[in-house]
Chains A and B, each alone.
Chain A
Amino acid sequence: MSFFKKLKDKFSGSQEQEQTAEKYTEGLKKSRSGFSEKMNNLFARYRKIDEDFFEELEEILIGADVGFDTVMELIDELKMEVKRRNTNEPEALREIITEKFVEIYAGEGETSSELNIQDGLSVILFVGVNGVGKTTTIGKLAHQFKSEGKKVMLAAGDTFRAGAIEQLEVWGERTGVDVIKQAEGSDPAAVMYDAVRAAKSRGADILLCDTAGRLQNKVNLMNELQKVKRVIEREIPDAPHEVLLVVDATTGQNALVQAKTFKEATDVSGIILTKLDGTAKGGIVLAIRKELGVPVKFVGLGEKMDDLQPFDAEKYAYGLFAQAFEQREAEPEEETAE
């Protein structure tokens, strides 16, 4: 059975499955129309695989912000595969590419998008550079946990940016969860201390900790973040149960540096890729995954409260290639036969 078919079958089971698959297809509309249109175009124009073909493919992948080294490796692997299969039919590559995408992603290390949620209190710390959508993501997650019947609390750890505390408070009101805060400009570590204490004494299940956005090359600010994490660790030995790095999907190669530096400083356990709807292709997650082995846990596919979806590499690939896949479905099978 073809790889696409397997993917499709996978998502045409239960209604719920179809719904999330649809969200991916819908949310990735723009990414897809750019990416997959270009792919289709490429496959339509080339009758045989040659250097020019690979060069164009390289450009499409680079255009999707897939890390540079990753693209180079991918192209090399594809070239080998072409040799191995002794083919020069572009069509044969189409599936291999999708497979490779999923393969890179499923590579080494943890791939599960499940969060580490324990009985009793689970603490999740959110980190990232400025303007990636940490606070919004926390709002969306609070909504999700709440609707699962969990007692959620929020910690307003961004005491630096003007209006950040109020922003989190609005989310607290919307979702009906308590926000622990102090005045703007106070020590974020102190806020965390308070929040963990309060969450413990009020018997919360989930504590979502916001932090101020910081560029990863600011040593002092990264130290501050480590301190915040230490305070949480001291209060609850296994905490934070997750440290999630929020990354803007429109970010280019710098996302790799972000992932690396934040991982060193706070031992990031997962990535949330925001703003994947609309314009971004978010190809950089492939590079991050490959270089650092940190799994993507969630993707932001829109502005609504339930637009945060657990990441699934196969669904992602399916979303990206769905159009191409459906077109092929419609075509008679004979076309590729010898």
Chain B
Amino acid sequence: MKITDEVRISDNGFVFNSKTGDSFNVNPTGLELTKLIALGHDFDTIKNIFLEKYELDDLTFEKDFYEFCALIKYHQITSQEDPLDFK
């Protein structure tokens, strides 16, 4: 899974897809997740970062992470050749 080349992410949480013209606002947690995905971190690394930083259990993170990934994929912010690939 990678953030597509056409996507620009601003530090204030404004995400713009220059291929579709769509723009979104993400909250600080969404921004943090998006940036970690953009850096190319895999699921386990992102999970460890979040578990260390926030009071959060594995299952809740996993559920929210996949939900968020499905959402940004739907909006063509990420591309995924393999639907089960979250590396």
Are A and B associated in one complex?
A: no
The interface of chain B, by Cβ under 8 A from chain A, is none
The interface of chain A, by Cβ under 8 A from chain B, is none
